[in-house]
Amino acid sequence: MKPSTQACKSPKNMLGSVDKYCMYKSSNEVVIEYWRDKNAAIKLIHADDPARALMHYYNAERIGLVMCTPVSNKNKTQRI
């Protein structure tokens, strides 16, 4: 099965510049959320069960365990 075109695009190609990214890691899951402004975001999920990883991400976000890092203006033009 051929992957969809959307799945092959990088966050920068989909969002343009990125203002911040947030990351959740566990022993077997990684979720990275890229933000542009306050209303556009995409998530990259690496897990055996992506739906469960997303649920874990939202639970961790709710209790303050998701770490977010702003991207400086200098880094906005660099490839992610």
pLDDT digits (tens, 9 = 90+) for 2-55: 444 555 566 666 667 788 899 999 989 999 998 888 877 889 999 999 999 999
Please give the model's pTM, rounded to 2 decimal places. Answer: 0.70
Let me know if residue 65 belongs to a domain. yes
Asked, for residue 1, whether it belongs to a domain, the answer is: no
Identify whether the C-beta of residue 24 lies closer than 8 Å to the C-beta of residue 56: yes
* Residues 47, 53 contacting (CB under 8 angstroms): yes
- Tell me if 2 is assigned to some domain: no
Res 74: pLDDT = 54
- In-domain check, residue 5: no
At 61 the pLDDT is 92
pLDDT at 14: 66
- Tokens representing residue 1 in the block: 């099965």
| Model pLDDT, residue 60 | 94
> Which DSSP state fits 63?
T
Residue 46 lies in a domain: yes
Within-domain flag for 4: no
Residue 79, CB half-sphere, CA atoms under 13 Å: how many?
2
Position 33 in a domain: yes
Domain, as residue range, for 29: 15-71
> What is the per-residue pLDDT across 47-67, written as a single tens digit (0 to 9) for each?
999 999 999 999 999 999 998
Domain count, the chain: 1
Residue 3 maps to a domain:
no
